[in-house]
Amino acid sequence: MEEKKPDLPFSKVLELLMNKVESGRPIPTGQTLPPWRIPSASICEEWTKINVILAKSMEIQSSKVPGSDDFDSFIISNSCLAIAGLLKYYIESLNLADNLKVVFGVLLWDANARDGPDDYEGTPHVWLDIKDCPIDNTYVALPEESEMHLEYFYNAKKANYYVKEDPLTTKLNLYVGSKENIDTTRHNLKVFRTYVTDDDTKGDMVEKYLVFALECIGLNPSVKMYDLLMRKYLKDEFGVEVLDLVVKWANKCWFCPSIQDVAAAAPKVEDLKTCTECKMAKYCGKECQKADWKAHKLLHKELILTQQVLSEQSEQE
């Protein structure tokens, strides 16, 4: 009887697939202005490196692994919160800029994309703000990837289309998704509003969202694959080994802002309590978990919604 080989952990599968990635398209060299690049008028050595990273990020997002179940067409698409959050983390880890902000606001539509004055004016969106310069590095997989479609994709977004206005209270007529998916859309908007915040007392909310996304690789491996490829690139290109966010937050309470290690006055790592439901979030104790629950429960719901979508897709196949 042939001995059955043990199944590889999903993270190891992704690492093996990294060697089979076919490069996608970087940002075209002609796109020198926001939201694609920091403008040349502001260029310094650090910001030149940021522009290089932005181009590589778009290339990685649009790359593919032919024949794979999850990456046959692209690595990751239309994931504005994950991309903005991870880029902020990478740039800060390389000490290339400070005071970066992830913004949850409104992306206005180009006039040519609107079907008259009564049509939708824009859509909720998340982007990265670098010294009041809007940077939108989100790749969107187009139905027909022709040169004409790609040219429109890059030319349809301008810096002044990014409005720092709360999409949930704005008077603008925004498109938030189809009626069939309205519950999921409303949930996503709540996640964006909760995890994109300037309230320092809540700690780095975006990073907590990213840890959750990176840990759910069995359900959605796209964020993990993008992160693996980007951190490898940053190490090869700049000689900087960016710490895995999952490792970083394994030593932190998800409510207390301080790092939990043996040198700190806070509890040691082994004293942190793990959320029994998601097995990801760590807390000093019940008080911290209770205080974080209003935000954290949204991630639990996201896990349920993702499972439902995958289940429906599986049934259709």
User: CB–CB of 286/179 below 8 Å?
Assistant: no
Its pTM surpasses 0.85: yes
Q: Say if strands 273-274 and 101-108 run parallel, antiparallel, or are unpaired.
A: unpaired
Hey, what are 270's tokens?
């082994």
- Report CA-CA distances (Å) from 134 to 33, 37, 153, 181, 301: 10, 9, 16, 28, 30
User: CB–CB of 59/121 below 8 Å?
Assistant: no
DSSP letter string, 55-105: HHHHHHHT-B-TT-SSSSS-S--S-HHHHHHHHHHHHHHTTS-SS-EEEEE
pLDDT per residue of the chain (317 residues) written in tens, 0 to 9: 444 444 667 778 898 899 999 999 999 999 999 999 999 766 789 999 999 999 999 999 999 999 998 999 999 999 999 999 999 999 999 999 988 999 999 999 998 888 888 899 999 999 999 988 999 999 999 876 666 678 888 989 999 999 999 999 999 999 987 766 777 788 889 999 999 987 665 568 999 999 999 998 877 899 999 999 999 999 999 999 999 999 999 888 999 865 444 444 444 556 789 999 988 999 999 999 999 999 999 999 988 887 776 666 555 55
